[in-house]
Amino acid sequence: MIDSVHTGRWISQFDGEAIDFVLFPSTPHRRVHSLIKQRLNEKIETQVRISKWMSWAALPLGIADLVFANFFRAKLLAHEINRFQPDVIHIMETQHAGYLTDRALKTVKSKPRVILSIWGSDLFWFQRFAKHRTRIKSVLNRVDLLVTECRRDRDLAFTLGYKGEFYELMPATGGMNTALLARKAQQIPAKERKWIAVKGYNGFVGQGKDSIRVISEIESQITDFSVMVYSAGLGTQWFARGLKKKMGTRLIIARKHKLSNNDIQEMFLKSRAALGLSLSDGLPATVKEAMCMGAFPIQTSTSCAGEWFTNGATGILVEPNQIKNTAAEMMRVLRDDDLVESAMFDNLIKAEQLFSENVLKEKAQKLYSSIMETKN
């Protein structure tokens, strides 16, 4: 997905490495993410290009292939593979990139080594639908090396027939400057953090409206706090208007893509709690960001977050659709300075170990070298 910050962050980890990347868009994007755009055709050791046809035809062909089941783009991708002869194909995400690549690989002359990175809900959500389950199994049968964010998805891959190798667990969303963020976070103790960060996504698994319901439940008790609803979908924006009438300027609603990376950092650095509710996820990028910046994460148990923080101590897992229980947990976090301060201390240490851009850059670079060694 070349409009995704996650793809951009992944590619940026290889600056200066002697690698030739050809990106093949897997979705009908409307823009190329700035992190990718600034690296296209740079005269440096790392070469990044977008497949020639798809640099302008991704949108029309992507829309057409919603009807023709990836027919046109699979032909173009197979042609690109035959022409470029890559050492490695790296599939980033399953339902778009994976299904597309699976169809293309049926007609290529020779099969390169294949890596699949699981993004978010790729396995956990979609494996429950018979049609998707069949297609996921087909993709996994072509994969030599699987990269997941959690043990949950490793176990699921086994049940879906995967027989390849696993790479060590790592976030799909890239690393962060944890040392700098920790210094900033430590300047704002728990008792001075008077914001609540609320993820407003309401896509196919997002529960932005339920997050608003949680805040509505406790609104009269948090008059000394303000709330930032970010990445809000249209449904969440509309639903939040009633609460906005009560809270006034204490409630800010920011649609998806409105906040810059710096804006998001500032939000988490002043937030006491970070609320994210969804029916399915991997390791949410927002949990990782909250841990790096001292905000206490509250996340649904349908994610992998519990494998990255300690439930009840450095984060809290809640069940989907449990508004009153989630509201009670939120009040616990807002009232307990010691809990949030202790969690901040522990999470900043853990973030340096798990989410540092230096640590993840090294893991990412070893990913390609490890599969090349097995090829040779």
Question: First CA to last CA across the chain, in angstroms?
Answer: 30
Quick one: 280 and 203 in the same domain?
Answer: yes
- Distance CA(203)–CA(72), nearest Å, equals 27
Same domain, yes or no, for 151 and 113?
A: yes
Task: Give yes or no: residues 82 and 120 share one domain.
Answer: yes
Q: What is the pTM of this model?
A: 0.93
| pLDDT the model gives residue 173 | 87
State the Cα angle at 278 between 137 and 62, rounded to 5°. 55
- Alpha carbons 230 and 257: distance in angstroms, whole number: 9
Domain holding 258, by residue range, is: 178-354
Are 227 and 312 contained in the same domain? yes
Domains in the chain, number:
2
Burial 192-218 (b: 16+ CB within 10 A, else e): ebebbbbbbbbeebbbbbbbbbbbbbb
- Do 58 and 161 lie in one domain? The reply is yes
Residue 369 is predicted with a pLDDT of 87
Q: According to the model, what pLDDT value does residue 374 have?
A: 66
**Which pLDDT score, from 0 to 100, does residue 111 have?**
86
pLDDT along the chain (376 residues), means of 10: 92 91 92 92 84 90 93 96 95 97 94 94 96 97 96 97 95 93 97 97 92 97 97 93 95 92 94 97 95 98 96 98 98 98 98 96 92 69
Question: Residue 376: what pLDDT?
Answer: 53
Whether residues 208 and 247 fall in one domain? yes
